[in-house]
């Protein structure tokens, strides 16, 4: 969580690279600044990967994707971004694994059919 301590005098503190919090109120207060919109959790890609491509890698992607909003709500913005990136990574790896398995399966079945047709039965 990013916090800026505002001092009793007029002050301006940089909270993140794109936000500045300033105050001239007396007393001290704590201001929590969100660094922007929540990252995309990639849940749709994780579900599609699970259903269409690779179940084990898709499940990992779903777990990572569902943790994004929880981390964001808790104020762990860097953790939420990391979880979103990992969900995307696991979804991509699951899709690649699914495509590779499909290609290998097609090649295997073509070889089996070719071997079955080439055997002499007479």
How far is the C-alpha of 82 from the C-alpha of 64, rounded, in Å? 9
12 phi and psi, to 5 degrees?
A: -140, 120
Q: What is the pLDDT of residue 122?
A: 67
Mean pLDDT, residues 98-119? 94
Q: What is the pLDDT of residue 46?
A: 96
CB distance 72 to 38 below 8 Å: yes
How far is the C-alpha of 115 from the C-alpha of 122, rounded, in Å? 16
Residue 121 has pLDDT above 60, yes or no: yes
pLDDT tens digit sequence for 59-96:
999 999 999 999 999 999 999 999 999 999 999 999 99
Q: What is the pLDDT of residue 58?
A: 95
Nearest to 75 by CA among 30, 25, 28: 30
Provide the mean pLDDT of the chain.
81
For helices 55-73 and 77-118, give the axis angle rounded to 10 degrees: 170
Q: How crowded is the C-beta side of 122, counted as CA atoms within 13 Å?
A: 1
Q: What is the pLDDT of residue 36?
A: 86
Q: What is the pLDDT of residue 120?
A: 73
Residue 42 has pLDDT above 60, yes or no: yes
């Amino acid at each position: 969580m990013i916090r800026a301590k505002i001092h009793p005098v007029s002050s301006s503190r940089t909270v993140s690279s794109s936000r500045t919090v300033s105050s001239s109120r007396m007393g001290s207060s704590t201001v929590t600044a969100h660094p922007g919109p929540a990252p995309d959790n990639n849940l749709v890609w994780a579900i599609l990967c699970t259903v269409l491509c690779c179940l084990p890698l898709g499940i990992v992607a779903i777990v990572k994707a569902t943790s994004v909003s929880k981390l964001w709500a808790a104020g762990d913005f860097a953790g939420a971004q990391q979880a979103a990136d990992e969900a995307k990574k696991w979804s991509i790896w699951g899709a690649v694994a699914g495509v590779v398995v499909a290609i290998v399966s097609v090649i295997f079945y073509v070889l089996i059919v070719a071997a079955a047709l080439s055997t002499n039965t007479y």
